[in-house]
Structure 1
């Protein structure tokens, strides 16, 4: 596809309301590693409005760095930056200046893969060095400029080290340095195959430093050294949890090894060791990140990227004395002609409101104000977009420098407003203000007074930016979100937001937004838990069952944690439960404890809409409801709110709570506990049955007809709108026109007790919803008849089989700390299994 075609395709996405497709795929789908939301943000270069990778020129007086997807040249001490590259429909990162200063290597992302390129600094000629749409990153030239080392997924889908000779006509003799190696120990967040990252050369050009997770169960591994001419000659320099971004680099004199680490802290700073791995000592300090550091050629200064100010920034620091010079692009000499675009966003009453904005310039690239955080979606439909959607949050009025020409603008604000899209033509050298008026598309007030909450957000989680409660509140306002629960949780050895915990609302709350600090209990063996409204303290350890660590024991299990949370008055929920339909007989392994905790009365809500497959999760939920468990629908995005590349934004998956209009912790807790909720990633749902609403119970003396009233309002077209009774669709509503609204009344013949809910869903993805597909569901309304609910022995047998699998796996573990831990865990699981067996033996053959 040509660059022009990519521009046209992406522009049409923003301007045309095409029908939803089913082709959403992961960004960089060629990478064969689990948990892309970690490696993509923490390792792959991202589009940020602030600087990212950097390299000194040979005389040390200038820097070439990446910013806004282009390479820039700036003299240290000057405020003028000169744009060196500006590719069409692509973005440039990770510059490495040649030792002779004549060229710079870099990585370029075009929506398909990441290739290595070279820029001739004298002529401006750009030359592609790799082809094939693999992921090729971190190019580093040897000290003599004759070889290049880099990381590539070519041939395997895994991150491996490559080296090649480099000449005027490109690369020669490219070859992997280490090849594939499969670790013998089990790993959850990382591939079974070792990776090799962060290459750099020793000053003599004989060895390469890199990071590898050889036999490391948790984290990205240790710093290693390898002889270029003899890859078998390799040794560990330092055991260190580097979290993807250590980027070790030897000082020009070969005596000190600089790297980034959080090393027992919550934030990454710069550390020093020796080539022999002496005990490391910190070079910098602060409650923020410093990373991507490079020595100046004379070893007197260090350049690095910091998020001290929230966004990414570039600094140069004197090694001796620590004097720091910020590199600020106050004046920018663009490579293309530009115009200035100002957006003025208002609601239907004319009031200024913040919103989420995506802007695509005539160059096919995303643009944003220099001071804002750029975010990227985690997937897209390649038949409809050239690359993932990039967006930023505008405080209501914001100004952007964009290339002259046709510019596409896309504005969204939560679910209660129609998306706004427009194409404008910008003239070179002019200023243009575009007014944006958002139209309301809210539910009728007669269906309740709702407050929206994202039950699952991580304010800071190792991302490019440094978030604060004040900024988190700004993000929520732009998404028209009333409440955020910041779930404090570990990322490997860190718990980044642990210092923010407090039982009461964060002081940054106000102006329509409430920030609550809560906890995610993080055991991937039993399933993750949300612990909301803890009244005293965060529960520690924050995880269990981390194999090959001191916290390997599966105890405490989730039931124990639920009891401790309930002792503090907290609500306990299962978060992002299931990514596919669970078949207990065929699952490779099955250890999730949701059925056990439901049977033992520990579960207060489930994230039905969350970082999972909503329909697969609902299928399990329906079976539990059929067995009489009253489990409200919750929702949480699992947004890493300081990521540049995230599954988000905050509020993408949210629960609406009927609180009578209150936004107090007590009102929110009561509404969620009672099931006065609906969960959604777009569609708004209203449901009344016999005058009752979700969470209520209808008691009838006999079967008969019950009147219903429903409403749908949606920012996107909806394929299916259905009433579901005891897991079966009993009424499907025909949606016409744009399929975004419906009001309907009628009667249902109800001949059995149980439960009933309203749901909306689509067959495939929609670019307006940054999720796998649009989905919404109310919590159930419960139906009581003298005959009781119908028996569901097949559902009970399903969970009995599930519990047999969990019991077998838990019994096979040999890493409990004591026999009492083992026996209490197995007894808890057996109790749940026996409960399901007793239900399976009741009544006639079930559904």
Structure 2
């Protein structure tokens, strides 16, 4: 191999969003683009997602699988009412006269309001323009409609319009725009107004708004539709997007969903005077999207209490508490369907679970009836009409699809080739498709690896209800050996706190329960292998709360974790390369904690920009800090909408095949392995593996290996932040084996990396990326004064921001924090030989 020196291309100028890939519903303007989509907007699920009563009190219209359905309570057959090509229907609201239904339709670009005439089956678009229009609610007399729209602003605002046979007229925002004086982390700087519900007399709207509320979606309020300045707060509430209050027909009672003092949403009851709410339901499962029957004797809602954790439609009687699940055992569809069975087997012919994507002739995603449907959080609009969808198939699995051409993609981990087919299925026929996966195991000399996702959230407020057993099954379908379930707060609650301290389950895959420490100021920490207790509080620096103080900072938390034999890692570090000169704010504490020896690993591949994160990692290693590369997908494993499944970002650790904690964490801390979201890498330098230290400044033999489920654009050897060799990838660019010689630098580090310029629709991340840990080169390290100056300037900004905070509990906290940061600067200067 010839040496070709060049400055590494992973500096700030080269770190940008992957070409083509953009967020789903990018028109929504919020500081945080992840949680609101799952917690607020309708998602494609195989189970029910929204419901409304017909006037007879006995029949329901509900959304399921992207269509609207009608079903009588007590019957087991559902009748399909809508089925749009390439689009998905949600959130039905039945007119009081029972003649029509308004709903929202998603087509990959936006969500628009539509109306269905129940007698003729004809549909009519009510809005257009590509905004996000959701939660349509018809007034009792059917002459007005209220909904939530981002039209014109990108913010969730309450709209109202007149409605007749021709459509909408005089559509306008009811409350107008208002910018808050508070800084908000998860929510827009502009107030929102969501969850409209009409009073029975049609004069008022109940809604949820957040004027001057920093955390939570806001309070329940009432506004007069003809005098919008006349509004009053009904009840203070801090639920996350899911309150959806609904007026009872008597105009007195209000049912809504809240996790008030609990870990799951339950149904609560208050009244128009805002009386102290009392719960209607109890338990450890979710109950949301509640709607009263017209006679006020029933409440329908969406729950997830079933054995499979999927969504389900439940009707309960507030008086007496009797409830029943409305289950569609038979489906009467609008168009002919075929039955498709997938029989997935590994290279040895053994049935194995796997991740499956199926697109029917209708341009829509399909899944087995009891499967959890998942959707990507971004996509390239030049390549796809909507984001990709997938489910996990317990082979064999059976699903019903529209007759015609059907596209199937099967994936299982990184070592197996992608399997893709297009087949024609005939109406009324059953078709079984055999899927034989082709594996490409690496030669054992590169390592005897186990794969681990160090950052997963089993439950985090999503549509589904997860358990350790189901999480293990998800991991098995992804060919993953170990999952670290990082228990963490979602604002007021910690959904998986009951699992902390319980034994992990399984042998392979294995589920362990650990912790993530949250702070929007210092950066997030992964705390693995905690032996004694959950580190409390689980967050700090939450402005406008009783835990507003930046103390404890991350260094303090690291000490608490290390005291109980825990490992401390920085998780999802950087979406862009930190710029101490130009960044509006810079408070990330990583370089200070590395300087103080607090950091055991770093998610170089995670829910962040891998290139940006690697550029910081390289600078730290140039200063001699041996920070191992970890990986974690930050998957919310009970979400319907998320960036990739469990194991999308994983670290391969050379543990000689052992999966016990001692072997896993020893390999992680020693940097024995590689981190990846797809490409698998092998590196040997004079037969030494990543994590080893060898003599530098000489000519050595290098062996490399690459196997990737998707094509790779770049495969490179990097030493001390410079590319010293680029490999010429040919053919399908998914495999390469090579042996050669290179001249090593006089000291520092050397690693192998693979990466792409653009996103790949078959890999549900920003772009394909993998890196080995470094082989350390024993000898004089290159000049690192520029790297030291970079981190000193970085910490100057952190110190500036820290000193400006006025919400410490006392002066001692502030002084100790500033002293810690200044000492870190001194330690970094010494690394470069400066005083």
After TM superposition, the score normalised by the length of structure 1 is 0.96
Q: Does the alignment pair 1:610 with 2:609?
A: no
Q: Does the alignment pair 1:518 with 2:517?
A: no
Q: Quote the residue 1:320 is aligned against.
A: 319
The alpha-carbon deviation at position 469 of structure 1 amounts to: 0.4
SS in 2 for 1:663: coil
CA contact (8 A) 1:272 1:283 kept: yes
Q: Which of 764, 774, 779 is the aligned partner of 2:773? A: 779
Q: Please give the alpha-carbon distance, in whole angstroms, between the structure 2 residues aligned to 1:614 and 1:655.
A: 13
Q: Quote the residue 1:206 is aligned against.
A: 203
Q: Please give the alpha-carbon distance, in whole angstroms, between the structure 2 residues aligned to 1:219 and 1:455.
A: 28
CA contact (8 A) 1:81 1:329 kept: yes
Q: Quote the residue 1:587 is aligned against.
A: 583
Q: Does the alignment pair 1:817 with 2:809?
A: yes
Q: Quote the residue 1:12 is aligned against.
A: none
SS in 1 for 2:583: coil
Q: Quote the residue 1:794 is aligned against.
A: 786
Q: Please give the alpha-carbon distance, in whole angstroms, between the structure 1 residues aligned to 2:233 and 2:690.
A: 59
Q: Quote the residue 2:279 is aligned against.
A: 282
Q: Please give the alpha-carbon distance, in whole angstroms, between the structure 2 residues aligned to 1:209 and 1:401.
A: 40
| CA RMSD after TM alignment | 1.1
The alpha-carbon deviation at position 840 of structure 1 amounts to: 4.9
C-alpha deviations, 1:324-362, integer Å up to 9, x for none? 121010111011100000000001111111100000011
Q: Please give the alpha-carbon distance, in whole angstroms, between the structure 2 residues aligned to 1:349 and 1:461.
A: 37
Q: Does the alignment pair 1:757 with 2:751?
A: yes
Q: Which of 75, 78, 84 is the aligned partner of 1:78? A: 75
Q: Quote the residue 2:27 is aligned against.
A: 30
C-alpha deviations, 1:278-307, integer Å up to 9, x for none? 111000011010000000001011000001
C-alpha deviations, 1:195-232, integer Å up to 9, x for none? 11100111111111111111111111111111101111
C-alpha deviations, 1:457-508, integer Å up to 9, x for none? 000000000000000001000000000000000001010000001264x23x
The alpha-carbon deviation at position 833 of structure 1 amounts to: 1.4
Q: Quote the residue 1:11 is aligned against.
A: none
Q: Quote the residue 1:502 is aligned against.
A: 501
Q: Quote the residue 2:39 is aligned against.
A: 42
> Where do residues 243-282 of structure 1 align in structure 2 (5 Å cutoff)?
243-282=240-279
Q: Quote the residue 1:646 is aligned against.
A: 642
C-alpha deviations, 1:351-395, integer Å up to 9, x for none? 111100000011111111110100000011111111111100001
Q: Quote the residue 1:53 is aligned against.
A: 50
The alpha-carbon deviation at position 35 of structure 1 amounts to: 2.1
SS in 2 for 1:73: strand
CA contact (8 A) 1:255 1:275 kept: yes
Q: Please give the alpha-carbon distance, in whole angstroms, between the structure 2 residues aligned to 1:682 and 1:104.
A: 45
Q: Please give the alpha-carbon distance, in whole angstroms, between the structure 1 residues aligned to 2:789 and 2:273.
A: 59
Q: Please give the alpha-carbon distance, in whole angstroms, between the structure 1 residues aligned to 2:592 and 2:194.
A: 41
Q: Quote the residue 1:374 is aligned against.
A: 373
> Where do residues 313-462 of structure 1 align in structure 2 (5 Å cutoff)?
313-462=312-461
Q: Quote the residue 1:659 is aligned against.
A: 655
The alpha-carbon deviation at position 319 of structure 1 amounts to: 1.3
Q: Please give the alpha-carbon distance, in whole angstroms, between the structure 2 residues aligned to 1:842 and 1:495.
A: 45
Q: Does the alignment pair 1:706 with 2:700?
A: yes
The alpha-carbon deviation at position 837 of structure 1 amounts to: 3.3
CA contact (8 A) 2:623 2:832 kept: no
Q: Please give the alpha-carbon distance, in whole angstroms, between the structure 2 residues aligned to 1:116 and 1:657.
A: 50
Q: Which of 580, 583, 596 is the aligned partner of 1:600? A: 596
> Where do residues 140-219 of structure 1 align in structure 2 (5 Å cutoff)?
140-219=137-216
CA contact (8 A) 1:441 1:715 kept: no
Q: Does the alignment pair 1:828 with 2:789?
A: no
C-alpha deviations, 1:152-183, integer Å up to 9, x for none? 00000110000000000000000001111110
Q: How many residues align?
A: 817
Q: Please give the alpha-carbon distance, in whole angstroms, between the structure 2 residues aligned to 1:35 and 1:677.
A: 33
Sort the Cα spacing of 1:263 and 1:624 in 2 relative to 1 into closer, same or farther, 3 A: same
Q: Quote the residue 1:743 is aligned against.
A: 737
Q: Please give the alpha-carbon distance, in whole angstroms, between the structure 2 residues aligned to 1:690 and 1:427.
A: 58
Q: Does the alignment pair 1:109 with 2:96?
A: no
The alpha-carbon deviation at position 658 of structure 1 amounts to: 0.4
Q: Please give the alpha-carbon distance, in whole angstroms, between the structure 2 residues aligned to 1:321 and 1:773.
A: 54
Q: Please give the alpha-carbon distance, in whole angstroms, between the structure 1 residues aligned to 2:312 and 2:643.
A: 24
The alpha-carbon deviation at position 751 of structure 1 amounts to: 3.5
Q: Please give the alpha-carbon distance, in whole angstroms, between the structure 1 residues aligned to 2:139 and 2:636.
A: 36
SS in 1 for 2:562: helix
Moved more, 442-451 or 570-579: 442-451
CA contact (8 A) 2:60 2:70 kept: yes
CA contact (8 A) 2:18 2:767 kept: no
Q: Quote the residue 1:678 is aligned against.
A: 674
Q: Which of 89, 96, 101 is the aligned partner of 1:99? A: 96
CA contact (8 A) 1:634 1:677 kept: no
Q: Please give the alpha-carbon distance, in whole angstroms, between the structure 1 residues aligned to 2:683 and 2:216.
A: 46
SS in 1 for 2:800: helix
Q: Please give the alpha-carbon distance, in whole angstroms, between the structure 2 residues aligned to 1:837 and 1:619.
A: 19
CA contact (8 A) 2:18 2:766 kept: no
SS in 2 for 1:367: coil
Q: Does the alignment pair 1:805 with 2:812?
A: no
> Where do residues 296-315 of structure 1 align in structure 2 (5 Å cutoff)?
296-309=293-306, 310-315=309-314
C-alpha deviations, 1:223-266, integer Å up to 9, x for none? 11111011111111111112101001111111111100000100
Q: Does the alignment pair 1:125 with 2:122?
A: yes
SS in 2 for 1:476: helix
The alpha-carbon deviation at position 835 of structure 1 amounts to: 2.1
Q: Quote the residue 1:62 is aligned against.
A: 59
The alpha-carbon deviation at position 534 of structure 1 amounts to: 0.4
C-alpha deviations, 1:686-734, integer Å up to 9, x for none? 001122111111135xx22121111001001000000100000001100
CA contact (8 A) 1:719 1:735 kept: yes
Q: Quote the residue 2:7 is aligned against.
A: none
Q: Please give the alpha-carbon distance, in whole angstroms, between the structure 2 residues aligned to 1:778 and 1:427.
A: 48
The alpha-carbon deviation at position 537 of structure 1 amounts to: 1.1
Q: Quote the residue 2:549 is aligned against.
A: 553
The alpha-carbon deviation at position 21 of structure 1 amounts to: 8.4
CA contact (8 A) 2:624 2:831 kept: no
Q: Does the alignment pair 1:463 with 2:462?
A: yes
CA contact (8 A) 1:705 1:747 kept: yes
Q: Please give the alpha-carbon distance, in whole angstroms, between the structure 2 residues aligned to 1:441 and 1:23.
A: 30
Q: Quote the residue 2:14 is aligned against.
A: none
The alpha-carbon deviation at position 34 of structure 1 amounts to: 2.5
Q: Which runs of 5+ in 1 are unaligned?
A: 1-19
Q: Quote the residue 1:730 is aligned against.
A: 724
Q: Quote the residue 1:572 is aligned against.
A: 568
Moved more, 457-466 or 436-445: 436-445
Q: Quote the residue 1:3 is aligned against.
A: none
Q: Please give the alpha-carbon distance, in whole angstroms, between the structure 2 residues aligned to 1:196 and 1:299.
A: 26
